[in-house]
Structure 1
Amino acid sequence: MRQFRDVVRGVDGFTRNREGNFAVLFGAAVSVLALGVGFAVNISQLYNARSSLQGVVDAAVTSTARDLTLGVITEADASKTVQAFLDANSTAGILQANQAALDKLTVDRTANTVQADAHADVGLFFPLFSTDSMRRVTASTTALYSDKTVEVAMMLDVTGSMAGQKIKDLRTAASNAVNSFLGGQSATNPRVRVAIVPYANSVNVGSLAASTV
């Protein structure tokens, strides 16, 4: 009986003892804080990865739509072009080389749009609760393209009022405009044609149109 009372007193003393409570609470608080910090870091990592992926996909689709418009590539080459752009630029931001992968590319001939869906698998800095350390982020974007041909005619004032520096500046501006219009398009399937029309009382075309004069 005495031994039983000693056990009861021992248990009662243990339950009344408050020494070390702060250490226990501090340990619990640190654990919760560490989980919160790890979760915040993971969220920030995934957000930055998705932002980087979105930027790369936007640039890839825009570039592909431009090449389709200029006739540099055909619709059959669009998917390969987008993937090549993703591979070349996938190190943007926090992404690693060859981390961005193209899931689907749709070229809508009716709406003249190029739509791409892509993903990247990101390794988390702080995997929590023994979960999978990899998370997938996705991105999608659409760009317009045109398969129409364009003809541009520029009428240039070459009268006497343009003498001196004015005509020099006009030549430079016209040359830059022509290079901008014609640069980058396919040599075998040009989409843009440019005509120059001089504005003057008479024009000396030399031997350019001798047979028609």
Structure 2
Amino acid sequence: MRHFGGLVDAIGGFAKDRSGNFAVLFGIVASVLALGAGFAVNVSQLSNAKSSLQGVVDAAVTSTARDLTTGVIKEADANTSVQAFLNANSQAGILSADQIVLDKLTVDKIAKTVQADVYVDVGLYFPIFSMGDMKRVAASTTAVYSDKTIEVAMMLDVTGSMAGQKIIDLRTAAANAVDSFLSGQDPAKPRVRVSIVPYANSVNAGALAGSSVYVETSTSQRKQAPGNGAVQY
């Protein structure tokens, strides 16, 4: 009994001793705070990875749908195109190109849609609880494309107010736009057609152009458009 009585007294004395309470409480609170901070960092990391991955796959699919629409690529080339866009766009974000996996690509030729499912395995900074040290983040997006012929009409202002640098910039911009529209097409089956409609004091709409607006075919033929008081440059 004396032995057990001494043990009871020792436990009672330990319970009454408050000299180490702060250290014990600090250890408990610090552990909880560390776990909470680690969990918050993991959630933020996964959220950023999800946002970056979604942006990358959106850009890849919409760019591929655009190329399908303009005839730059065919349906059979969609997989290669999406993968190339994934690699190119991911290098600017928090994900590296070799992390992103193209899980599935579906080209629906009836609905005219392109759907891509991708994922990335993210290494967590704080592998706590049952999360493990790796977490898979997935994203998916769908874009619509068209195989119909595209017709673009560009109306260009060649009035006297465009004299000087303005008309030079207009020509440069128009040439770049036409190159962008027509580049990469199959010459035998063009998908995009561009028409240019200049106007001065009237609109060049075919037969009307012969009597109202002069359109040069070379710089040596440059002259003043009818009805304008300034030379067109």
Secondary structure of the corresponding residue to residue 98 of structure 1: helix
Corresponding residue for 1:114?
A: 114
Distance 1:95 1:174 in 2: 37
Give the secondary-structure state (helix, strand or coil) at the position aligned to 1:73: coil
Deviations 1:20-63 (A, max 9, x none): 01110000000000000000000010011111111110111111
Q: Deviations over 1:84-110 (max 9, x none)?
A: 221233233221231011111111223
Q: Which amino acid aligns with 2:55?
A: G
Tell me, yes or no, if the aligned pair for 2:53 and 2:139 is still in contact at 8 Å: yes
Q: Once the 2 structures are TM-superposed, how far is the Cα of residue 169 of structure 1 from its aligned partner?
A: 2.6
| Mapped partners of 2:153, 2:131: distance in 1 | 64
8 Å CA contact retained: 1:86, 1:98: no
Amino acid at match of 1:27: G
Amino-acid identity (%): 65
Does the 8 A contact of 2:107 with 2:115 survive in 1?
A: yes
User: CA contact under 8 A between 1:70 and 1:186: conserved in structure 2?
Assistant: no
Alignment of 1:165 onto 2:163: yes
How does the TM-score come out when normalised to structure 2?
0.73
SS state at 1:137 partner: strand
Residues 39-54 of structure 1 mapped to structure 2, 5 A cutoff: 39-54=39-54
- Unaligned 5+ segments in structure 1 are 207-213
Q: Given the superposition, is the C-alpha separation of residues 131 and 178 from structure 1 closer, same or farther in structure 2, using an over 3 Å criterion?
A: closer
> Counterpart in 1 of 2:87?
87
Matches of 2:196 and 2:7, distance apart in 1: 109
Secondary structure of the 2:122 match is strand
RMSD (Å), alpha carbons: 3.1
Q: How many residues are paired up?
A: 203
Q: Quote the residue 1:38 is aligned against.
A: 38
Q: Is the 8 A contact 2:148 2:191 kept in 1?
A: yes
Residue 184 of structure 1 deviates from its aligned partner by: 4.4
Q: Quick one: structure 1 residues 185 and 127, their matched pair in 2 at CA, closer, same or farther if it must change by over 3 Å? A: same
Partners of 2:108 and 2:114 within 8 A in 1: yes
Secondary structure at 1:147's aligned position in 2? coil
Deviation for aligned residue 1:201: 1.8
Question: 5+ unaligned residues in a row in structure 2: which ranges?
Answer: 198-203, 218-233
Change (3 A) 1:23 1:185: same
Q: Residue 200 and residue 156 in structure 1: after superposition, are their counterparts in 2 closer, same or farther (change >3 A)?
A: farther
CA distance in 2, matches of 1:38, 1:164: 62
Gap change, CA 1:78 and 1:180, over 3 Å in 2: closer
